[in-house]
Amino acid sequence: MPEHLLDIRGVVKKFDANPVLRGIDLSVDAHEVVVLIGASGSGKSTLLRTINLLERVDDGQIFVDGQDVTDPRVKGDAVRANIGVVFQHYNLFPHLSVLSNVTLALRKVHGVAKDTANERGLALLDRIGLAAKANDYPDRLSGGQQQRVAIARAIATNPVLLLLDEITSALDPQLVGEVLDLVTELKEQGSTILMATHEIGFARKVADRVVFLKGGVIVEQGPPAQILENPVEPETQEFLSRVMR
């Protein structure tokens, strides 16, 4: 039985004949924040999507909380119900109010009574400073506010693991801060987070471990100080010199 909260072993993913992940081994412990960096197409997003079974792996195993989620006998919906995901483009449901977006999974997946769910949802919205917008529809909110609501929606069910997929890439620069502050807050409260990001500065500040991917393989991983300041591999050095310029 693996003791890590998330244990990825030899995961291969191909789109048609193109390998996107070429045998990934990675583990994340409870309360750890692991940041994936790498160029577009390096496999960061695909890796996140295989974990909550939005993509089926072509080989290897993924253990979440000790359960092999790649076993075909495992119910995907049950796995996904325990993992929170935030997407680059928020993907809030435009026909539902902000509060309904946040409480939807509580009510319809976890069977929480409406009153209890609303109470929880309002408390969450209060925490992210958007309680006043509870009954507004998502299109009335700024990008940063929408992304904060998306994070609230993802954590409303107390998932064991949070997957954040380039959550600030679609935001105006002045809105990035408010979203990253919320992630920092989640880390302080002990959430387990695996995130893909282009925000190297944020990775340095918040990550327990930084993982550099290239061409579907992990080139190098370690504490942010080591990977971001003194990378060993020339490929990591090259990538960092480009994004830090």
The span from the CA of 24 to the CA of 61, in Å, is 10
CB of 6 to another protein, least distance (A): 16
The minimum distance between CB 47 and another protein, in angstroms, equals 14
Q: How far is the CB of 118 from another protein (least distance, A)?
A: 28
Instruction: Write out the residues near another protein by the rule CB under 8 A.
Output: 10, 12, 19, 22-23, 25, 49, 53-56, 58-61, 70-73, 76, 215-222, 232-233
Give the nearer residue to another protein in terms of CB position, either 2 or 60: 60
When the beta carbons of 123 and 232 are compared against another protein, the nearer one is 232
Q: What's the order of all strands across the beta sheet hosting 209-214?
A: 83-86, 161-165, 193-196, 33-37, 209-214, 217-222
- Using the minimum distance from each CB to another protein, give the nearer residue, 54 or 131: 54
- From the CB of 221, what's the least distance to another protein, in Å? 5
